[in-house]
């Protein structure tokens, strides 16, 4: 998946709606608590802080455990998954939710 596809898929999973690409600002959308105000979507594929917020969607032990195992598989190294990049976290996140596309 491209970074843009990753950002859109994670945004949808995090509750963003009315997603559209703006020529200057990139992916824009609305969140339920913004009363329809369109804002820029986080850059999940490159921002660890954004991925930290996205990980909060995994609000059950079962989902988080599945995510952690996917993250471990995604890093494919002997290093602990805590060293994963934002893109690796994004891929594991989408695989956990069944939204990753090859």
Q: What is the pLDDT of residue 78?
A: 60
pTM for this one?
A: 0.90
pLDDT at position 79 over 90: no
Place of tokens 């090859």: 102
Q: pLDDT tens-digit profile of 24-63?
A: 989 999 998 888 899 999 999 999 999 999 999 999 999 9
In angstroms, rounded to a whole number, what is the distance separating the alpha carbons of residues 78 and 62? 24
In angstroms, rounded to a whole number, what is the distance separating the alpha carbons of residues 4 and 24? 14
Q: What is the pLDDT of residue 35?
A: 84
In angstroms, rounded to a whole number, what is the distance separating the alpha carbons of residues 72 and 27? 29
95 and 74 in contact (C-beta within 8 Å)?
Answer: yes
In angstroms, rounded to a whole number, what is the distance separating the alpha carbons of residues 93 and 99? 9
Strand blocks (E) in 1-102: 17-22, 26-30, 39-40
Q: What is the pLDDT of residue 19?
A: 95
């Amino acid at each position: 998946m491209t970074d843009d596809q990753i950002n859109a898929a994670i945004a949808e999973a995090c509750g963003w709606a009315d997603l559209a690409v703006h020529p200057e600002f990139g992916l824009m959308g609305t969140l339920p608590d913004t009363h329809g105000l369109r804002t820029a979507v986080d850059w999940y594929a490159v921002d660890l802080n954004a991925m930290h917020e996205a990980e909060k969607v995994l609000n059950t032990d079962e989902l988080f455990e599945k995510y952690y195992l996917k993250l471990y598989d995604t890093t494919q190294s002997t290093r602990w998954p805590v060293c994963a990049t934002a893109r690796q976290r994004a891929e594991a996140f989408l695989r956990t939710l069944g939204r990753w596309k090859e």
